[in-house]
Structure 1
Amino acid sequence: MKLINTILFLVFCLFANAQNLVSKDGDKHIRIKNSSYELVVNKNPIGIELLKGNLVISSLSGSNGFSYSNENGANHLVAINDWQKQGKTLFLKAESDQTEMLSEIVIVMKNDKVEVSWTLPEMENVESMKLAFDLIDGNHWYGGHVNGGHNWPLETAQVSFEPFLAHSNQGTPFWLTSAGVGYFMPCYHPMGFTINNEDNGRFEVSVKETRKVSMELLIEENAPKVYRSFAKEIGLPKVVPPKGFFDKPTFNTWIEYMKDLDQQKIMDYAHDIRENDFPCDVLMIDAGWSPIHGEYEFIEERFPDPKAMIDELHEMGFKVMLWISPYVREGSKDFEFLVSNDYLIRDETGTKPGHIKWWGGNDYELDMSNPEAFDWFLEKLRKLQQKYGVDGFKQDGGDAKYIPENYQTFADVSSNGSTDYWAKLGDYFEYNEYRVSWMAQSSGLVQRLRDKHNNWTRESGLGSLIPDGLTNSLIGYPYFCPDMIGGGDAKDFRDPNYKGMGTELFIRWTEASALMPMMQFSYSPWHLEKKTVGICRKYAKLHEDLGDYIYEFALQAATTGDPIARPLFYDNPEDEEAYLISDEFILGDRILVAPVLEEGAIDRNIYLPKGLWKDYWSDKTYQGGRTLEDYPAPIDVLPLFIKLN
């Protein structure tokens, strides 16, 4: 027994040392190993590397790795002049090239992540503090902001988000790489990030007006495992949206009527949906139902009996949502009340409400960080539910970009923080839809892609649907809805040069949306020729047929974090080719979707990951790990493949 105990003790000591092994490589490096990775700190010039075996998986860029800007210009940390280790924590003191004041860097090593915190202890807030990482050859980058999704992977372009704000679409300060490293900076401060800016070969992320920055480097075997780790850290969805969002297309009045709404038009729209045999549970009444921003009643002249209208819509099987925003126009009924109670975001003086210039006009914004203002607005919405039977709300606006940095709020939150306070409202309504959020993943909200242009382009038209949607999936928003089929940017449809909805574009857009987590129409398919209506109905019903399957993965996302629509590499992390594919996706874990996204095309190349795949339409099987070239895809065919076994 003594011999066994001795052996066990020796094994324990060896294991403990392996978990916490520190070695000095002369005066140049500090090396710390654990069972998952090795941390190497270069002392002069300063630098930090993470290794798996002999492979560098992350590298702070030497003298560019740590820099800050103040009134004297740019300062770079250049060397470590003192260090000590306590347990799993490494304390560093570093000198810069422009001042004698030292920086403090604290590195905490855990089994599956490294926490890096950098402080300027002797300074007030500086203009910005920046961390810069090398774009290591062979590593692919994803995440950050949905608006940059069309740059897939990110390192293939010059990407710049200065400032990096919750604007236009979902954004989150999280990035992941194919090397199995995630970069998470849980921060609401004004930020910026660039990737390969001016071909500099770096990922740079900065925080404004601060004296401290912190980042978590999540380290896993591969990118999907990093994503799961991030999803659990930021918070899995607390609720799953109602099944009707997933198993049937939604319809929205925006492009169909713009703001020219009335009760009869909405009823005509609803009857047309049913008479043309399109499945639909959720009907959204977009902007135009209320008289002015900040008033929450139907326009009496246009809606003589809104309760009867909503009652009839309910009898027809629809759930009804209304468009709302946080903006209030001067002259609206409650404007003076809101001003006197300090319920609006204040300007830089802090003494009066600040003007907000947004796409809908020049207004003011409710300060949702003020609990009383929040409750006031919540009560307004609940009255709409009680009085008319409204089921929920499409919450538009709330973009951080529209709030000047020096504006003031009740809770002293940043503009990104204001965006997420706006998102908190969705926690109170089962039926909700958002377009912009920062770190609201745990709320389980419906997140819509921004208004797309009525064209084929990869930047903001049909070609952007897949990479933007997949970026949403990889920053923790599994419940995303692509934009309205045919595009939702009203400017396109108001343009004097607009020549009408293109049939081919509308069909291909319908096909591309059909197997995404959600599907949304606005422009009515029945405005087009009979054949087009039939094709669109076919794919609306395919979405309905797969509703149980889609909802299964919606439920799974709330327990595992796994997205519903996944990039090809998600279930094939060892497949290098899969990391480059941005015009295909996998629905759940076995349906590969490869829409036609180019005008005039009747075939396309399709990459199949490893495994055995069956064409959904022909039942023909194909061995994966290769590209099917010029695969037939006539106008009525959405290429689909089912993974066997």
Structure 2
Amino acid sequence: MSIFSMEGNRLVFRYDAEKLWIEPWGVNSLRIRSTKMAEMPVENWALSEPVKECKADIVITDKQASITNGKIKATISNYGRMTLYNQKDEVLLDEYIRNRLDLKADYCSALEIEAREFRPILGGDYELSLRFVSNPNERIYGMGQYQQPYLNLKGVDLELAHRNSQASVPFAVSSLGYGFLWNNPAVGRVTFGKNITTWHAVSTKILDYWITAGDTPAEIEEAYADVTGKVPMMPEYGLGFWQCKLRYQTQEELLSVAREYKKRNLPIDVIVIDYFHWPTQGEWKFDLTYWPDPDAMIAELKEMGIELMVSIWPTVDYRSENFQEMKENGYLIRTDRGFRIGMDYQGNTIHYDATNPDARKYVWDKAKKNYYDKGIKVFWLDEAEPEYSVYDFDNYRYHLGPNVQIGNIYPAMYAKTFFDGMKQEGQEDIVNLLRCAWAGSQKYGALVWSGDIHSSFFSMRNQVAAGLNMGMAGIPWFTTDIGGFHGGNPDDPEFRELLVRWFEYGTFCPVMRLHGERQPMKPQYGTTGGATCLSGADNEVWSFGEEAYEICKTYLQIRENMRSYTRTLMEEAHKKGTPVMKTLFYQFPEDEKAWEVEDEFCFGSDILVAPVLYENMRSRDVYLPVGTRWVNVWTEEVLDGGQTISVEAPISKIPLFKREGSKVKIL
């Protein structure tokens, strides 16, 4: 029996216990799966979208087999080594294998290292490693958001797991002209080393990845969106300014802030009720002690043209009125050892199991009755990783399996909980704010923010890289806590400078949102429900002194002026999967210098933004890409592309340029 065979449109390789499938999966793309189980697992995970059928060209000879789908080709030798090429026969990826099965091969070695290594777990499944030869000159982008400053991820080691402020979205775009999806929700790591690239899963039944070849980053990104899904159309209230803080404690406090925005004639689209507005975690309803008339509150806000967003937590307190019923029905995450507690913040809690469809329906039904039916159409799905007090990933078990095998899919299923419910109610343009994502989360209307980050310029620099890499990872909707989350005293001149610079940057994020836990904390209000969860200091645009207020007003108006332009960017994301914030090389892939710039970005196609990322900086160098002339928005000076210039950046002005001839209104 030959080790190679053709099953329809699929090339199959069998050797010993391994079965390997290579098949077309969309235009110019291949899906590659391997297992040592009795049958190939059937889950599609992120690859959930119907794809265009492509006829593969499969060739089998005595010594190797190949499969070609448009611009991509895979070859596999009779000893199992696989190499992937583009349409120019240039190597995209070459498996790293070192053994003596073929004494004439260039990889012949006594090291005995497998490219596709399934290391058995005693009595269970497999620990998996996949290795590729690394091109040291390659640049790699995407992979979600990590709290580090590097846009180019070559040489970086990343945990494939979620934590507060860390979202593992395992799609990478290479400067060599390919996109690679690690289609496995297991906890693991990836190392983009100088000599070897290694993908690792702690526990799994399958190796599963998808690869596409493209001539530009845009072609690659759009191919990925075709197979994993695209964001809905952003609703109109997603285009403007969102006001938020930790936390408005009462109905009257929140309404007074909304009224003040209107009194001052300041643009505002959304205002947010943060956590612990509920009686107990896991009840998903207003605490009427502090929010006595939600219907009247929502009606007044709608009359002002403001949408209300409310915080949802997935945690269920043992004291919750829903705990026993949810436990009896198997709607809660389990622990393999110790007490069944996932978080101990403000109570002993465990999260609802978003991988269980019945649990998803249960939680949505509660939220629908207590929020949605009252007119709330946008939710803040917090704690989406989910966050644990202790990140013992091997201790938690879900409906779909152990956390170490499938846990990274949790934030996508959390988003799906609300997306499916809202869709069933007839809502089309859906956006919900989440603190985490996995591959495919975008199709469930996930607007991802970068979590509980520090209020510092160091942290702000990390967010620029995080936002751009989230876009490259296929998540077009991204935002941050303007000013950072942890700390920041509104009366501190140093924090005021940071707040202003972050506000300027936030104006050109996909969603502009002010949030944070400002210091000092306010006194406790009340004694019941969530009262012990204190409120931070004021966090409205007028809270940081007159100079900062005047600057914030300017940028609120800029955001409003750009509304029609921003709407077109959201349409592009909805139709093609295009990032709203783009790296320079995404927009100008032929410009070699654009691939090196990590602290500028394009807001859409027409606007170039160069945020000020250091304290006391009043000028900075800006690279203007080749291919167009650029207009300094503040001075109207016209400049040629392909040069680096020094730009003045007084505290009130972020370096900002638009393409010559662009009709977008900014000032």
Residue pair 1:19, 1:34 contacting (<8 A) in 2 also: yes
Q: Could you tell me which amino acid in structure 1 is paired with residue 455 of structure 2?
A: N
Of 504-513 and 213-222, deviating more is 213-222
SS in 1 for 2:376: coil
Q: Could you tell me which amino acid in structure 1 is paired with residue 547 of structure 2?
A: K
Q: Say if 2:514 is the partner of 1:521.
A: yes
SS in 1 for 2:291: coil
Partner of 2:261: 273
Supply the distance in 2 between the matched residues of 1:20 and 1:388 (Cα, whole angstroms): 57
Residue pair 1:121, 1:211 contacting (<8 A) in 2 also: no
SS in 2 for 1:463: helix
Residue pair 1:166, 1:419 contacting (<8 A) in 2 also: no
Q: Could you tell me which amino acid in structure 1 is paired with residue 642 of structure 2?
A: G
Q: How far off its partner does 1:40 sit?
A: 5.9
Partner of 2:175: 178
Q: Could you tell me which amino acid in structure 1 is paired with residue 167 of structure 2?
A: Q
Supply the distance in 2 between the matched residues of 1:330 and 1:122 (Cα, whole angstroms): 34
Partner of 2:519: none
Q: Say if 2:291 is the partner of 1:303.
A: yes
Residues 325 and 51 (structure 1 numbering): CA distance in 2 closer, same or farther, change over 3 Å? same
Q: Could you tell me which amino acid in structure 2 is paired with residue 456 of structure 1?
A: F
Supply the distance in 2 between the matched residues of 1:59 and 1:423 (Cα, whole angstroms): 36
Q: Say if 2:616 is the partner of 1:627.
A: no
Of 48-57 and 165-174, deviating more is 48-57
Q: How far off its partner does 1:500 sit?
A: 7.2
Q: Could you tell me which amino acid in structure 2 is paired with residue 171 of structure 1?
A: S
Q: Could you tell me which amino acid in structure 2 is paired with residue 383 of structure 1?
A: K
Q: How far off its partner does 1:250 sit?
A: 0.5
Partner of 1:164: 161
Partner of 1:408: 397
Residue pair 1:339, 1:353 contacting (<8 A) in 2 also: no
SS in 2 for 1:604: strand
Partner of 1:486: 483
Supply the distance in 2 between the matched residues of 1:447 and 1:644 (Cα, whole angstroms): 32
Q: How far off its partner does 1:526 sit?
A: 0.8
Partner of 1:251: 243
Of 523-532 and 600-609, deviating more is 523-532
SS in 2 for 1:205: strand
Supply the distance in 1 between the matched residues of 2:73 and 2:386 (Cα, whole angstroms): 39
Partner of 1:450: 451
Q: Could you tell me which amino acid in structure 2 is paired with residue 419 of structure 1?
A: P
Supply the distance in 1 between the matched residues of 2:649 and 2:395 (Cα, whole angstroms): 53
Q: Could you tell me which amino acid in structure 2 is paired with residue 410 of structure 1?
A: H
Supply the distance in 2 between the matched residues of 1:379 and 1:31 (Cα, whole angstroms): 51
Q: How far off its partner does 1:80 sit?
A: 5.9
Match of 1:221 among 196, 211, 215: 215
Partner of 2:300: 312
Supply the distance in 2 between the matched residues of 1:280 and 1:81 (Cα, whole angstroms): 69
Residues 355 and 152 (structure 1 numbering): CA distance in 2 closer, same or farther, change over 3 Å? same
Q: How far off its partner does 1:230 sit?
A: 1.2
Identity within the alignment, %: 24
Q: How far off its partner does 1:583 sit?
A: 1.2
SS in 2 for 1:508: helix
Q: Could you tell me which amino acid in structure 1 is paired with residue 144 of structure 2?
A: H
Partner of 1:434: 434
Q: How far off its partner does 1:539 sit?
A: 0.5
Of 414-423 and 616-625, deviating more is 414-423
Residue pair 2:335, 2:396 contacting (<8 A) in 1 also: yes
Of 299-308 and 578-587, deviating more is 299-308
Partner of 2:145: 146
Q: Could you tell me which amino acid in structure 2 is paired with residue 466 of structure 1?
A: V
Partner of 2:527: none
Q: Say if 2:587 is the partner of 1:571.
A: yes
Supply the distance in 2 between the matched residues of 1:550 and 1:475 (Cα, whole angstroms): 21
Q: How far off its partner does 1:532 sit?
A: 1.6
Q: Could you tell me which amino acid in structure 1 is paired with residue 150 of structure 2?
A: N
Supply the distance in 2 between the matched residues of 1:358 and 1:498 (Cα, whole angstroms): 33
Q: How far off its partner does 1:276 sit?
A: 3.1
SS in 1 for 2:146: helix
Structure 1 unaligned residues grouped into runs of 5+: 1-17, 64-76, 84-93, 106-116
Residues 178 and 125 (structure 1 numbering): CA distance in 2 closer, same or farther, change over 3 Å? farther
- 1:36-93 residue CA offsets vs partner (Å, 9 max, x unmatched): 4665657789563536647543332332xxxxxxxxxxxxx6646999xxxxxxxxxx
Partner of 2:197: 203
Residue pair 2:318, 2:348 contacting (<8 A) in 1 also: no
Partner of 1:531: 547
Q: Say if 2:501 is the partner of 1:508.
A: yes
Residue pair 2:282, 2:322 contacting (<8 A) in 1 also: yes
Residue pair 1:37, 1:53 contacting (<8 A) in 2 also: no
Residue pair 1:287, 1:324 contacting (<8 A) in 2 also: yes
SS in 1 for 2:379: strand
Q: Could you tell me which amino acid in structure 2 is paired with residue 208 of structure 1?
A: V
SS in 2 for 1:526: coil
The correspondence of residues 229-628 of structure 1 with structure 2, limited to 5 A, is 229-237=223-231, 239-246=232-239, 248-254=240-246, 258=247, 261-348=249-336, 354-357=340-343, 362-385=348-371, 388-400=374-386, 402=388, 404-412=393-401, 414-427=406-419, 428-429=421-422, 430-439=430-439, 440-457=441-458, 461-481=459-479, 483-489=480-486, 492-493=487-488, 499=492, 502-522=495-515, 523-610=539-626, 611-628=628-645
Supply the distance in 2 between the matched residues of 1:378 and 1:561 (Cα, whole angstroms): 27
Structure number with higher relative contact order (C-alpha < 8 Å, ≥ 6 residues apart):
2
Of 125-134 and 30-39, deviating more is 30-39
Structure 2 unaligned residues grouped into runs of 5+: 1-55, 423-429, 516-538, 662-667
Residue pair 1:140, 1:153 contacting (<8 A) in 2 also: yes
Supply the distance in 2 between the matched residues of 1:328 and 1:164 (Cα, whole angstroms): 22
Residue pair 1:192, 1:206 contacting (<8 A) in 2 also: yes
TM-score, normalised to structure 1, is 0.79
Q: How far off its partner does 1:122 sit?
A: 13
Residues 632 and 98 (structure 1 numbering): CA distance in 2 closer, same or farther, change over 3 Å? closer
Residue pair 1:167, 1:401 contacting (<8 A) in 2 also: yes
Supply the distance in 1 between the matched residues of 2:477 and 2:374 (Cα, whole angstroms): 28
Q: How far off its partner does 1:454 sit?
A: 0.8
Residues 154 and 175 (structure 1 numbering): CA distance in 2 closer, same or farther, change over 3 Å? same
TM-score, normalised to structure 2, is 0.77
Residues 251 and 472 (structure 1 numbering): CA distance in 2 closer, same or farther, change over 3 Å? same
Q: How far off its partner does 1:331 sit?
A: 1.1
Q: Could you tell me which amino acid in structure 2 is paired with residue 61 of structure 1?
A: Y
Q: Could you tell me which amino acid in structure 2 is paired with residue 396 of structure 1?
A: D
Q: How far off its partner does 1:206 sit?
A: 1.1
Residues 454 and 386 (structure 1 numbering): CA distance in 2 closer, same or farther, change over 3 Å? closer
Supply the distance in 2 between the matched residues of 1:272 and 1:174 (Cα, whole angstroms): 43
Residue pair 2:316, 2:323 contacting (<8 A) in 1 also: yes
SS in 2 for 1:453: coil
SS in 2 for 1:293: coil
Q: Which has the larger radius of gyration?
A: 1
Q: How far off its partner does 1:220 sit?
A: 1.5
Partner of 1:9: none
Q: Say if 2:632 is the partner of 1:643.
A: no
Q: How far off its partner does 1:183 sit?
A: 1.4
Supply the distance in 2 between the matched residues of 1:42 and 1:33 (Cα, whole angstroms): 15
Supply the distance in 1 between the matched residues of 2:209 and 2:510 (Cα, whole angstroms): 31
SS in 2 for 1:606: strand
Supply the distance in 2 between the matched residues of 1:132 and 1:441 (Cα, whole angstroms): 28
Q: How far off its partner does 1:262 sit?
A: 1.3
Residue pair 2:491, 2:545 contacting (<8 A) in 1 also: no
Residues 36 and 337 (structure 1 numbering): CA distance in 2 closer, same or farther, change over 3 Å? closer
- 1:245-271 residue CA offsets vs partner (Å, 9 max, x unmatched): 11x1101132xxx3x611221122212
Residue pair 1:143, 1:174 contacting (<8 A) in 2 also: yes
Residues 616 and 359 (structure 1 numbering): CA distance in 2 closer, same or farther, change over 3 Å? farther
Q: Could you tell me which amino acid in structure 1 is paired with residue 128 of structure 2?
A: M
Residue pair 2:100, 2:112 contacting (<8 A) in 1 also: no
SS in 1 for 2:621: strand
SS in 2 for 1:207: strand
SS in 1 for 2:180: strand
Q: Say if 2:133 is the partner of 1:131.
A: no
Q: How far off its partner does 1:598 sit?
A: 1.2
Of 506-515 and 201-210, deviating more is 201-210
